[in-house]
Chains A and B, each alone.
Chain A
Amino acid sequence: MAGTALGVGASTFLEVFYIQFSKDGKVDIFEHEVLKKLVFILRFGLLLLVLSGFGLMVLWRLRVMGPDVFFSARYLTKMSVVLILLFTAFLMNFRLINLRIGSAISITSWYWAMILGIWRNAKISLVLLMTLYVVSIALVYLLLEFVRSKTIKSK
């Protein structure tokens, strides 16, 4: 949970501060340093999330929890979300993806990792969960674009 909390917090503030700092069309040295610190916290949160995920998986394996847990819709969705998050972070680092799309995927994935971590009694099918995830990425992208356009207009 610590990893998820750091990641959700850092990704949210990263988005908020980046939009705010971009208002004047440039990011100065101080603003760049702030964003760098948030990226560091985000990466640390991601590392914690991945390591704790492995730890949980090993515990389940030792307790022989079996397919009911490992192949549950909630767990499979969370694993997919984390893999997509890792892959998106990789692509964003090497500028192989549009950063606006990347940040929408990233922030949506962090919130989904948090929701799936808390919502232990989720009884929704895998297909529906993944569909909701993809739809929420699109909605978050549109929301961020709307906020960005309003912020630049208010300059």
Chain B
Amino acid sequence: MSYLLIFVLVSHIILGVLGAAFLVAYLLAFSKNRDDSGYLTRMSFFAFIAFTASWIFSGYYYVTYYGKAVKPIILKAEFSWAHTVLMESKEHIFLFLPFLSLALFAVTMVFRREFSENKKLSFSVVSLCFTTVSIALLVTIFGMVVSGAVAK
């Protein structure tokens, strides 16, 4: 693997984890009713940027290297389901994250002042954020298992 491919592989992991971390920070700040309402907007925006950047880096790695060099190894080995189930699910579910984080950012930017007064609205916003974090975590776990299935 070239240094460029190592860089994009590592970058997509770091950016994906960062995206999830920004959303966890969002949830923590939300629970503490932080009056600094710019914080929630910033966290959701950074999460969107992180997921989109991860999308681009992982896409480059997937399109230029994974299909040719890694997928055949996994499919021939003991844990072929790591590709046919986990990688196939992960590469498509991952596409949801930029849309979900952008939706969260949009809602936060415009309606953040209503969060403290409207309990139903704030609960639904928390649910959207929690769903996005859960999907990011699921994608991460799938990625770890796929990595493990790559044998010499």
Using a CB–CB cutoff of 8 Å, the interface residues on chain A facing chain B are: 50, 54, 57-58, 60-62, 64, 66-71, 79, 90, 93-94
Contact = CB atoms under 8 A, between A and B. Distances in A.
Interface string B3-29: 000100110011001000000100110
Interface residues of B, number: 22
B152 interface: yes
Given A58-B13, A62-B6, A93-B28, A70 B152 contact: no
A54 B137 CA distance: 13
A94 to B, nearest CB: 6
B150 A64 contact: yes
A60 B147 contact: yes
Contact of B151 (A58, A64, A79): A64
Contacts, number: 45
Given A61-B9, A67-B78, A94-B31, 15 more contacts: A58-B13, A61-B150, A64-B150, A66-B151, A66-B152, A67-B148, A70-B144, A70-B147, A70-B148, A70-B149, A71-B79, A71-B148, A79-B144, A93-B31, A94-B27
Contact of B147 (A57, A68, A93): A57
A68 B151 CA distance: 9
A139 to B, nearest CB: 29
A138 B145 CA distance: 30
A57 B24 CA distance: 22
Contacts of B9: 58, 61
20 contacts: A50-B17, A57-B144, A58-B9, A58-B13, A61-B9, A64-B150, A64-B151, A66-B148, A66-B149, A66-B151, A66-B152, A67-B78, A67-B79, A67-B148, A69-B148, A70-B147, A70-B148, A79-B144, A93-B28, A93-B31
Interface of B is mostly: helix
Nearest to A47: B21
A61 B147 contact: yes
Contacts of A61: 9, 147, 150
Nearest to B126: A94
Contacts of B145: 70
Contacts of B78: 67
Nearest to B145: A70
Nearest to A94: B31
A54 B151 CA distance: 18
Max count, chain B CB within 10 A of own CB: residue among A54, A66, A69: A66
A124 B148 CA distance: 20
A69 B6 CA distance: 20
Contacts of B151: 64, 66-68
A64 B10 CA distance: 15
